[in-house]
Structure 1
Amino acid sequence: MNQLQNQVSPYLLQHRNNPVDWFPWCEDALSKAKTENKPIILSIGYAACHWCHVMEHESFENLEVAELMNSHFLCIKVDREERPDIDYIYMDALHAMGLQGGWPLNVFLMPDQKPFYGGTYFPKANWIQLLNSIQRAFSEHQTELQQSADGFAANLQGTDVGLYPLELTNIGPLIPSILAKIKTGLDPVFGGTHKAPKFPIPSLMLLLEQVPEKLLMDIELDSLADLQLTKMASGGIFDQVGGGFSRYSVDSEWFCPHFEKMLYDNGQLIRVYALAFQRTNNPVYKEVVKQSIDFLNRELKGENDIFYASLDADSEGVEGLFYVWTFEELNAIIPYNKHSDFYKAYSLSKLGNWEHGYNILFKKDALLNDLYQAEITALHQVRSKRVRPATDNKQLLAWNAYTSLGLLEAGAILKDEMILDGAFKHLNQLISAFVPFGQENVLHQLAFSDKPIYAFLDDKAALGLALVKAFELSGKEEYLKVARQLIMQIEASHTKQHALFNFHSNQNDTLIAPKFEILDSVCPSANSMVCELYLWMGFLDANVACTLQGKDMLAAILEQAQANPIYFANWLRVYSTWIENPKAIIKFNPVRIKRSDLIGLNAILIPMHELKENILVCIGDHCLAPCEDVDSLKKQLATI
């Protein structure tokens, strides 16, 4: 047993019995590397990572490999979900070396933590060869390696790329040309980006849902948005039996998933599909929302009503085994001669539609699973008795906050009081657990080994946006109070350059470089969420400093966002929503005006008990004259 036995991360605990003498990331390990003058192997992964498991079985459980690693290196294991700040820095370092990123991420560091080489998954023979080469180079050319590492570390300083702030008031319409550019990067046959493997990018999907619908239709992007949504809902990437989405599809058709299920995907996609249902009234989208929420409540919810991080791709040592079926298994549960329509609808064949004779449920058409409720229920009952994939029971603030926002949005759009009640209960639990009453520090995760890991920038920003949505729906001032506290935490704990904030919190240990996260990928960038939070708080609190901070952030990013819109999609959604295509925001005093009388006005409704006026409408950066009643409000809106 190595130095990981007292950790709480399921990923680190998976490696506690490796013959490799792993250390967690800690001061003792880093000091030991310096004292013994050993290069560091920094190996980063996560519990649901399939290739992380493969490399563990091939190399880290092998005595020959372990002896080589222990003799010449100081070996550190990091859970990227527990310490995303460390992962970001060394992934950037790998890219600076001109190497492809991914997980497992294996980076070689000098004793001072500066990187000089790395890679992702290495087969055992390649890993042994690399270890020997690195050991010889460190022994014979340490000075040259140090110079190289110093150079890579220097490149990591400052913001990720050059920023060229624009003056927002001098910019003409950008969103139409940006949407046209995005269109060229989408798959016209199966939806989503052209690439395989194919990942959902919720920030991009949200952008398409929240730009003006007429603009979407003029560029014919509404059909491409719906193409992706329906193909994903019909594909193997969506668990047709149990609900919820896998992390990505290994092919371009959304057929074969990489079977791990992540909270961050499902929390965001619930919001996407709810907004798409609001736009289209498509019952398939509503079904996806409800089945995904059922999956989260059944499979990932802890006893404290806070959600766990993920489900593994593997069970019984086989990827996807929990989710796939042989024809013989299916026929025993649902006889083919009585249910041939079901087999046809879900592309199930005697030889299997996937590898090794297995079938993945994959709908040929975008039909409702409810049409085959009896068959789906029968499969679910049998599957529930199988050996389940392992659960990563970390409870992370940002991922839960994405989910909180998705649940609040879904409950409001679907007018489902049960979903809405569950959403508020979940958010209230997040506040009490991650932001304890009277405590200035916000936590990144609830469980920790020796000392807390304090919240990173995305944790605070994502929770802040969920709190704003909760205030919008409830009018309860207590949610704004916590949001204000988070703004104060951001300003106190995160250094700032060019209007952007460092991802890492200065309440945690010191790292070799800052990380100003700006790219929107499968999760929105921390800074784009902070930007939106500042704009909201500036509006809700009439706080000029917050509004100007949000605008400064947009101005700093907008030029890059135009050049690569798919990976700045959340920034562009914020820009469209607040600057170029602002919706009317109606503040109303709920004591004198009923919310139900305002529904259907195509505006954002904000109940504010302290509002002196009955109704106040604001659009973009200006507000209109106050209204006394709903009739005068409607007349006012008709003139805009």
Structure 2
Amino acid sequence: MNKLQHQVSPYLLQHQHNPVHWQPWGQEALQQAKDEDKLILVSIGYAACHWCHVMEKECFENQEVADLMNQHFINIKVDREERPDVDMIYMDAIQQMGLSGGWPLNVFLMPSQKPFYGGTYFPKAKWMNILSSVQNAFVEHRAELEASAEGFANAISDHASLFHMMDLDSSPSFIPASLQIIVGNMDPVFGGMNKAPKFPLPSLLKYLESTPQKLAQHTHAYQASDVQLSRMAQGGIFDQLAGGFSRYSVDSEWFAPHFEKMLYDNGQLLEAYAAASQRSKNPLYAEVLVQTIHFLKSELLAKNGLYYASLDADSEGIEGLFYTWSFEEVNELISSLENPDFYRTYSILPNGNWEDARNILFKKEAVLNNTFKDELGLLLAERNTRIRPETDTKQILAWNAYVLSGLVSTSQALFSAEIKQDALTLADAIEKHLLKPDGTCLHQATYSGSPIVGFLDDYAATALAYIHLYLISFDKKHVEIANQIVKKATDLFESKEENFALYHYAQNMDNELIADKVEFTDSVCPSSNSMLCEALLWLGLIESQINCTMRAQQMLETVMSKAQSNPAYFSNWLRIYSQWFENPQAMIKFNHSFVMDQGLLDSLRALNCTLIPVDNLPQDKHFLVCVGNHCLAPVSTWKELQAQWKEII
């Protein structure tokens, strides 16, 4: 019997009518495998995944396939976004087997949950052969499978032995070299890492944007960032009609996206474009920010104030149908003879510029969409009559926290009180629906049965977002929330291994998992440990908590040797290290009541640095200039502050 009908995950509900006897991940299914001594098939995907839909249609909706699966396996469906801890373990296992990862992820486990084989998408005939072969091996060669599974299970737990500690105080500078490696591996024409498919990798962009000006000139960091940000804004990966970015481009030119739109990409890209907009004042970046926020609010914002997870790649069973156009469809609305500039700007061709004679709107030059506001408005109105892609209505804490940080950054870049209010409204919704008074976090706002407790990225991203909000709101409540969350994260995720500074991804009390995973590489999202490290550094500075600063430095010392050897996948770590240690930022702590009474806030903001309101300055002292973790002598007057500031800038 299929047992998915009572789930809340849109991905699991997509499979509730399959003839496969799917069960959700949990003790019931895992215990059944042991009781019946059956192999487990764990099939992992997510609602917006195109190839997940394809395999469902070809295999899981087929009675012949289902009969074979039901006879020999305990079949468990997992939404990777609902249970990223499970996905992390079995994705790592597949890679340990020397196989390519991706989704759908299909992994075969012994009744003990230990993995021995798997893969991603399989067409029907191959899938049925694999099912039969795996079952035969279980019957005829069980001892060999047990040994293989034991080996993979042992290999996927993360321990201190995987890391080599580095003494950062005595290490030579390595930030310039890391930037040169990263920029050298980027596409000089279209930006991004020099390969296809191409992912935006917002953490890498934020690292480039954080580079001090002189170092950026030497390493071409800003140039590399500008190339990518401009080309993405022009490309098919950006929805030229309604705003928002797709998850990745299948080619190297940002032309043809994989059309699913994820909340985590768009939240993070707000931060990247905001940083570039502040630096360059490029109107294209400002337009992208405005349009992306409009997309988020119009397409993904729920009534409770939180944001939904994603939009599907497919509509009416066809990938990209909602977003693409035949020449005739456009011509009926906008005459090609009377509007040649529009057709040329957006690369619209009579025979199509993509598959099946359809066109993806793609700008070859950095023209503002506002230039063709009326024409794009006609297309958008027509598109809104189409059957739209399905929405994944999960409301995930970490992803909402990315949006919160993105709104904060954008409000500063565009000097927008309205966007600042959007950030405050989202923070209130997060606090109401996903946080508990003691700092405990939920992973998502709705759930089946018992709540899904937060993972380390939920805690870390949220603490960091509330710190970012505090730095523009000056509301002590926000930093107090961040402080509570970080303290709770230490209780729940801190490794019990001696002298190991990194934190587990899943809570230590979880007994359903066969391995302790430590997320430390930065990929499409920053690693949870790097975000927690930065939150600790901020709390150390704001709250004068030396233990937070010391723990953060230990975390950096744990990963920096790995970061030097593969900088693109440690870009968030490298940015943090650069901004706090090698190229520390100048910040000003100030007595909030004094500054407000004296009307000095606008003058402080004009210094264009991080401002930190505090209430623990020495008596009669109102300003404290800090560079990283080192501070000058506190001063009393605006004139004294100006003198200090001139000395360090």
Give the TM-score of the pair, scaled to structure 1. Answer: 0.98
Shift of 1:189: 1.5
The whole-number CA distance in structure 1 between the counterparts of 2:428 and 2:276 is 27
Paired residue type of 1:197: P
Q: In structure 2, what is the equivalent of residue 591 of structure 1?
A: 593
CA offsets, 1:500-536, max 9 Å, x none? 0000013544310011000100000000001111111
CA offsets, 1:430-468, max 9 Å, x none? 1121113x3553100011101111000000000001111
Paired residue type of 2:115: P
Paired residue type of 1:528: S
Change (3 A) 1:161 1:277: farther
Query: 1:59-458 alignment to 2 at 5 Å?
Result: 59-159=59-159, 162-436=162-436, 438-439=437-438, 441-458=440-457
Give the TM-score of the pair, scaled to structure 2. Answer: 0.97
The whole-number CA distance in structure 2 between the counterparts of 1:589 and 1:283 is 35
The whole-number CA distance in structure 2 between the counterparts of 1:414 and 1:161 is 46
Which blocks of at least 5 consecutive residues in structure 1 are unaligned?
none
Q: In structure 2, what is the equivalent of residue 631 of structure 1?
A: 639
Is 1:600–2:606 an aligned residue pair? yes
CA offsets, 1:290-342, max 9 Å, x none? 00000000000000110000000000000000000011110111111221110
CA offsets, 1:470-520, max 9 Å, x none? 111111111111111111211111131420000001354431001100010
CA offsets, 1:547-606, max 9 Å, x none? 100000000100100100000000000000110011111011122122211123242111
Paired residue type of 2:3: Q
Q: In structure 2, what is the equivalent of residue 548 of structure 1?
A: 550
Is 1:505–2:513 an aligned residue pair? no
Shift of 1:74: 0.5
Superposition misfits of 4+ residues, deviation over 6 angstroms: none
Shift of 1:639: 1.7
Paired residue type of 2:104: P
Which blocks of at least 5 consecutive residues in structure 2 are unaligned?
none
The whole-number CA distance in structure 2 between the counterparts of 1:178 and 1:99 is 29
Paired residue type of 1:534: L
Q: Secondary structure at the match of 1:253?
A: coil
More displaced, 263-272 or 182-191?
A: 182-191
Paired residue type of 1:627: V
Shift of 1:161: 7.0
Paired residue type of 1:411: S
CA offsets, 1:76-117, max 9 Å, x none? 000000000000001111111111100000000000100000
More displaced, 231-240 or 151-160?
A: 151-160
Change (3 A) 1:205 1:551: same
The whole-number CA distance in structure 1 between the counterparts of 2:297 and 2:206 is 23
Q: Secondary structure at the match of 1:40?
A: strand
The alignment of Structure 1 onto Structure 2 pairs a total of residues equal to 639
Q: Secondary structure at the match of 1:75?
A: strand
Matched-pair contact (CA < 8 Å) for 2:24–2:78: yes
Is 1:521–2:523 an aligned residue pair? yes
The whole-number CA distance in structure 2 between the counterparts of 1:240 and 1:551 is 43
Shift of 1:620: 2.1
Q: Secondary structure at the match of 2:592?
A: coil
Change (3 A) 1:263 1:42: same
Q: Secondary structure at the match of 1:588?
A: strand
The whole-number CA distance in structure 1 between the counterparts of 2:348 and 2:525 is 33
The whole-number CA distance in structure 1 between the counterparts of 2:408 and 2:647 is 32
Is 1:538–2:537 an aligned residue pair? no
The whole-number CA distance in structure 2 between the counterparts of 1:175 and 1:466 is 25
The whole-number CA distance in structure 1 between the counterparts of 2:630 and 2:587 is 11
Q: In structure 1, what is the equivalent of residue 479 of structure 2?
A: 480
The whole-number CA distance in structure 2 between the counterparts of 1:484 and 1:333 is 55
The whole-number CA distance in structure 2 between the counterparts of 1:401 and 1:413 is 18
Matched-pair contact (CA < 8 Å) for 1:191–1:225: yes
The whole-number CA distance in structure 1 between the counterparts of 2:38 and 2:52 is 24
Change (3 A) 1:591 1:310: same
Q: Secondary structure at the match of 1:592?
A: helix
Give the share of equivalent positions with the same residue, in percent.
52
Q: Secondary structure at the match of 1:585?
A: strand
Shift of 1:621: 2.6
Matched-pair contact (CA < 8 Å) for 1:59–1:124: yes
Shift of 1:26: 1.0
CA offsets, 1:2-49, max 9 Å, x none? 100000000000000000000000111000000100000000000000
Paired residue type of 1:625: A
CA offsets, 1:241-272, max 9 Å, x none? 01000000000000000000000000000111
Paired residue type of 1:306: L
The whole-number CA distance in structure 2 between the counterparts of 1:371 and 1:635 is 46
The whole-number CA distance in structure 1 between the counterparts of 2:362 and 2:551 is 47
Q: Secondary structure at the match of 2:513?
A: coil
Is 1:493–2:492 an aligned residue pair? yes
The whole-number CA distance in structure 1 between the counterparts of 2:511 and 2:256 is 41
Is 1:622–2:630 an aligned residue pair? yes
Matched-pair contact (CA < 8 Å) for 2:541–2:629: no
Paired residue type of 1:392: D
Paired residue type of 1:628: S
Matched-pair contact (CA < 8 Å) for 2:438–2:484: no
Paired residue type of 1:615: F
Paired residue type of 1:24: P
Paired residue type of 1:624: L
Matched-pair contact (CA < 8 Å) for 2:209–2:221: no
Matched-pair contact (CA < 8 Å) for 2:460–2:528: yes
Q: Secondary structure at the match of 1:591?
A: helix
Paired residue type of 2:646: A
The whole-number CA distance in structure 1 between the counterparts of 2:156 and 2:182 is 29
Matched-pair contact (CA < 8 Å) for 1:598–1:630: no
The whole-number CA distance in structure 2 between the counterparts of 1:614 and 1:255 is 53
Shift of 1:150: 0.8
The whole-number CA distance in structure 1 between the counterparts of 2:318 and 2:80 is 23
More displaced, 392-401 or 141-150?
A: 141-150
Paired residue type of 1:578: W
Q: Secondary structure at the match of 2:611?
A: strand
Matched-pair contact (CA < 8 Å) for 1:160–1:517: no
The whole-number CA distance in structure 2 between the counterparts of 1:161 and 1:102 is 27
Matched-pair contact (CA < 8 Å) for 2:211–2:221: no
The whole-number CA distance in structure 1 between the counterparts of 2:465 and 2:120 is 35
